[in-house]
Structure 1
Amino acid sequence: MTDIIDKAAMALSGGLMLLGIVGLGIVEILAGPPYGAAPVTNDAGEIVATPMVDPTLRTGLVLAGLVVLGLYAAYKLATPVEEADTAKGAETMAD
């Protein structure tokens, strides 16, 4: 049984991690080489190419998604578990 907090935590954390990993990864591929996190230099040490999206931004989005999951886990640990109500069960007739 999921409530509104469960759905919000799943959507927010999943969205942040998907944006950081998949979304910005596609942007990097469409921008073309270099695909690495470090700038590309020539023999003289001049920077000739940098990634389109800053790697710290991508890492920050993924970490924010993990923080949301951690806060959600702490919330679930802090809230009491609801007992199953046996009065709600349906009776069946036996042969």
Structure 2
Amino acid sequence: MIPSERTYNYKVELLLSRSHVLKYNNSPKDDIVNWLFAHIGNSKYGFVYKIEEVESASFEQPFLADASFLAIEFVTGLLKVGDTYEVSRGEEQIGSLKIVEIL
């Protein structure tokens, strides 16, 4: 797990499917991996996320989170409010990320 004490750059809406490595009864808050990859253009950029309403977040339902991109200097000019990007956990495609607000 990457430390969550960091500067968050974006408010995002995540829509995630349960990864095949997680138990059936898990919810997003139970996942010890708090970083994923956003597919932006032809590249993947890692980001750490912090769920806003932890108890109500569930798989297959959109939820709000704050996102901190690990290579913020590269993605700042690429990410646009309202745009949606594919999300993966390693090589596994697990959902999407929509930019809601720049923080």
> Normalising by structure 2, what TM-score?
0.20
Larger proportion of helix: 1
Higher relative contact order (CA 8 A, sep 6+): 2
The structure richer in strand per residue is: 2
Task: Give the structure-1-normalised TM-score.
Answer: 0.21
